[in-house]
Amino acid sequence: MTSVIENPSESSGLSLAVRLQQDSSNAWRELVELYGPLVASWARRTGLDEAATEDVTQETFLSVHRSIDQFDPTVPNATFRGW
């Protein structure tokens, strides 16, 4: 089982968001490794089975990919996780 990082460092989250906006393949890999277990954990807590959890996790990352350009790390108190 993959461990869940409950609160990834926000400075690393902001840095990751900027690299995602630059379409870095390493950043996308890091996103999945860092946030994948957390998203899956949240989905499981709602009672979803494993197949649905995998679907929700994949859809979440697809949504991030489609809208990452809308994240503005210069907004005061902006957090990638909160976005």
- Could you report the per-residue pLDDT of 50-79, keeping only the tens digit for each? 999 999 999 999 999 999 999 998 888 888
Interior CA angle at 74 toward 14 and 17, to 5°? 25
Domain-located, residue 56 = yes
pTM exceeds 0.95, yes or no: no
Structural domain of 20:
10-70
Is the residue at 22 inside a domain?
yes
Q: Indicate the number of domains in the chain.
A: 1
DSSP labels, 8-36: --HHHHHHHHHHHHTT-HHHHHHHHHHHH
Q: What is the mean pLDDT of residues 11-15?
A: 79
pLDDT tens, residue by residue, 39-49:
999 999 999 99
